[in-house]
Structure 1
Amino acid sequence: MPLKELAERRTLLHRKSDAQTIIAHALDDQAIGPVAMVSSFGADSVVLLHMLAQVDKGAPVLFVDTEFLFPATLTYQRDVAEHLGLTDIRVIKPSRAALLERDVDGILHHFDPDACCALRKTEPLERALEGFGGWITGRKRIHGGARQSLPLYEKNARRIKINPLADWTQTMVSDYIASHDLPRHPMVAQGFPSIGCQPCTTPAKDDEDPRAGRWRGQQKTECGIHFIDGVPQRRAS
């Protein structure tokens, strides 16, 4: 079955399913094949990670360490994994040879942030996803931009991308975290509703889009790992 049709069928099938059910079915979906969760261990990540732990603590979780992350994120990643009992966290890093060739001084993000994201995030994740037929993300329609029409399942190049929280609101996220007494990323309290790499992340005001602090002042709104038919998505100017 073509991937686009498979994604549309699964979206229709799970249109009334809760997020944890979607995760459980995705991990056991023979038509998709092996599935991993990709997590930034960011502001809202603990919701999906907690759901995954209820289904299968040994399911693979891919965490891309760009080597530009906030120290608080690295600490939070270790603490959350231990707290939830997740046993297959795979820390993905950029190729040393590629860094020496293309960003030896660590300043690529200043003049070509797209190339920096490709080097430090997109390419390492693509290598880590080899052998997987699908991956689970925490993207939501409330993030705005190209995500406003986000489906539960979508075709992503050679794989199926699963978005169990596509229709969740920020209130639903906060209520879930509170009701399960889950640890929050410490930077959320400092005004960071979306947390990426240090050079490209700033706080966002309460009345701003949650991702307003990512690549502030630029047209860029995605790191590059989220594509629609192979094209990086940006907010319309």
Structure 2
Amino acid sequence: MPLEIPLAPVGVRAAELNARYRHHSATAVLRHALSDPQVGRIALVSSFGAESVVLLHMLSVVDRSAPVIFLDTEMLFAETLEYQKDLSEQLGLSDVRVIRPDRRQLLERDPDALLHRTDPDGCCALRKTEPLQDALAPFDAWITGRKRFQGGARAALEFFEAEDDTRIKVNPLAHWDKSDVQDYMVNNRLPRHPLVSQGYPSIGCAPCTSRVGAGEDERAGRWRGAQKEECGIHFVNGKMVRG
């Protein structure tokens, strides 16, 4: 049995990968991320939200057997849960792993499922960040659907990010704009999340997601009224990861 070659430090590999694939297309970056030894073991993490179908479709074309991690926080819209099942089947994704919060931790820290009202960061940690970190433990890298046009901490995203000294984060759609996303959906006749047509261009947990009005930023409906822009899965050591 051949010995595994130890991987270089995460930061070194991310910089080398960006230099190597800087001018590649989104599909090419995804294909290389799934096969380049410097990336290592990899999974796609998907919310099955408003624009998730683009990256999921790309994955189904490149390698539909690649692992897909879906976080069911147990506070998602019913439409999201149904969409996840239907889309996985339609795209032929054969290794979708549904991850849920630890039952004992829920009973201890959020027995009434009201933590989101008093401590939204704590709720996200309990229902998203901690379960995801456990699910990602076997992997050296993970794929996200983040894009620069989403603004905030995402405005300077690169294709490959160093997530502390732990793993690489791959953002194949980093350089796409809104029209690229919409064109891909139309050209490939992909099914939309049912809530998009009801005024939800960005979809998270039901209690913390509201409709977006005309002229508002597409993420304005996430944690409306709170000083919060990210759920926490893109934080490292409590700090927001920037590109």
Distance 1:83 1:179 in 2: 17
Q: Secondary structure at the match of 2:217?
A: coil
Contact 2:74-2:100 within 8 A present in 1 as well = yes
Alignment-derived partner of residue 175 in structure 2? 167
Give the Å deviation of 1:195. Answer: 0.1
Residue 225 in structure 1 maps to residue 233 in structure 2: yes
Q: Distance in 1 between matches of 2:124 and 2:191?
A: 28
Counterpart residue number, 2:5: none
Moved more, 194-203 or 10-19: 10-19
Flag the 1:119–1:167 CA change in 2: closer, same or farther, 3 A.
same
Q: 2:76 corresponds to which residue?
A: 69
TM-score normalized with structure 1 length: 0.96
- Call closer, same or farther: CA 1:173–1:91 in 2, change over 3 Å: same
Residue of structure 2 aligned with 1:39, choices 38, 42, 46: 46
Deviation of the 1:233 alpha carbon: 2.4
Displacement of 1:176 in angstroms is 0.1
For 1:146, what is the secondary structure of its paired residue? helix
Q: Hey, what does 1:140 align to over in structure 2?
A: 147
Change (3 A) 1:27 1:221: same
Asked if 1 retains the 8 angstrom alpha-carbon contact of 2:234 and 2:241, the reply is no
**AA paired with 1:194?**
S
Give the whole-Å Cα distance in 2 for the aligned partners of 1:7 and 1:40.
24
Distance of 1:82 and 1:232 partners within structure 2: 36
Out of 218-227 and 59-68, give the one that drifted further: 218-227
Q: Distance in 2 between matches of 1:196 and 1:164?
A: 21
Give the one of 18, 24, 41 matched to 2:31.
24
Q: How many pairs are equivalent?
A: 234
Unpaired segments ≥5 residues, structure 2? 1-7
Shift of 1:234: 9.2
Amino acid at match of 1:145: G
| Alignment counterpart, residue 128 of structure 1, candidates 135, 138, 157 | 135
Code of the aligned partner of 2:150: H
Question: What is the distance in 2 between the residues matched to 1:224 and 1:88?
Answer: 25
SS in 1 for 2:161: strand
- Counterpart of 2:19? 12
The answer as to 2:208 corresponding to 1:200 is yes
Q: Give the counterpart letter for 2:107 in structure 1.
A: L
Distance 1:9 1:211 in 2: 32
1:101 offset after TM fit, Å?
A: 0.6
Structure 1 runs of 4+ aligned residues shifted over 2 Å read 229-235
The amino acid of 2:156's aligned partner reads S
Give 1:3's aligned amino acid. V
What is the identity, as a one-letter code, of the residue corresponding to 1:153?
F
